[in-house]
Amino acid sequence: MADLTFYLFFDHVKIHNANAISSPLTYGFPAISGFLGAIHALNRKIESDHPIYLDGVLIACHDCDVQVYRPNNYADYTFRLTRNPLAKNGDTRSIIEEGRVHLDVSLLVEVKIDDMETLYNTEQQQSFIKQMKQKLYQQRIAGGQVISIENVSLLSSDESDESLSKLLLPAFVLVEAQQELQEITAELQQKDPNATALDALVETAMLHHHPQEKEHWQTTSVKQGRGWLVPIPLGYQAISPLFDAGMVEHARSNEHPTQFVECIYGLGKWVFPLRLQDNLSQAFWRYKCSELQSNDADIYIINQD
């Protein structure tokens, strides 16, 4: 069994035009699956004599520039879309462009090996670092293009959480906020017994304006005192059987089985790295596939368990 031996640290990865529409209900920062998918693709490209596994991913954001436009303070935000070339007859091409975001992120990735001869000397480590940096440049992250990587380093798994946290500064780390979601849901159920966790997620995106004295209003939010909470997509749940390859018409690939799914939502929280000095290991996102015994629905989820 492979053991956690190193951390692969991608410092200040600048991503251009990443997908800002993270799910049918959320936008802004890309979905976590976009980052884990990129690291999974990177894992499959590793060239080594012995198996090397890239597992959990910690996501720290330095800058998030969503490409939106607002003509005035009272108008809605709209995405800045590119003007694509016209067709030969002068008509606008039927291209549906998605929202875009420019990112500056740092990724801390768990590196697991099952052979002690793997990456045991400096020469092997430098070769591995060079390979990972080059291959990350050659692929996309969350649909965006990697335009620069400030530095890539390989750190021992014995590094303290405090020293790893300082490497991420200045940034905010995305963590799961299950406890806050349960607390908000319980508060809503005191007012409405039929309230659900989905109502709690919607509530975190709302501001309530209460009239006070003349021409004065008080603005409140359920997030007050709970930190920087954000609804996030956490995976998918099957809503159909698994169809054999080629059975579903117009599927993206006829070489693989196909299944219809719906998005699973949860609550995330942006946390300053120094607040994670004692439990940084709990901030790594990982894939988890399981089966819901109640209705036998397949689950594909990302969490920090």
In the predicted model, what is the mean pLDDT of residues 108-121? 84
pLDDT at 278: 82
Band of residue 297 on the pLDDT scale cut at 50, 70, 90: low
User: What was the pLDDT predicted at 1?
Assistant: 60
pLDDT value at 101 more than 60 = yes
| pLDDT for 116 beyond 80 | no
Q: State mean pLDDT over 52-78.
A: 91
Strand-pairing partners, residue 229, are: 269
CB burial of residue 164 (10 Å; 0-12, 13-18, 19+): buried
The pLDDT > 70 percentage for the chain reads 97
* Residue 114 to residue 116: CA distance in whole angstroms: 7
Proportion of the chain above pLDDT 90, given as a percent? 49
pTM value is 0.88
Identify whether 233 is preceded by a cis peptide bond (ω within 30 of 0): no
Indicate if the pLDDT at residue 290 is higher than 80: no
Lowest mean pLDDT among 87-96, 105-114, 215-224: 87-96
DSSP 78-102: EE----PPPPTTSPPP---PPPEEE
Task: For residues 4-8, give the mean pLDDT.
Answer: 89
Select from 24, 25, 19 the least CA-distant residue to 38.
19
- Average pLDDT over the chain, rounded to whole? 88
pLDDT digits (tens, 9 = 90+) for 166-181: 999 999 999 999 999 9
Q: What is the mean pLDDT of residues 224-235?
A: 91
DSSP type of residue 121: S
Reported in sequence order, the residue ranges of the chain that DSSP labels E, i.e. its strands, are 3-19, 52-66, 68-69, 78-79, 100-113, 140-141, 144-156, 172-176, 208-211, 217-220, 228-238, 261-271, 286-292, 297-303
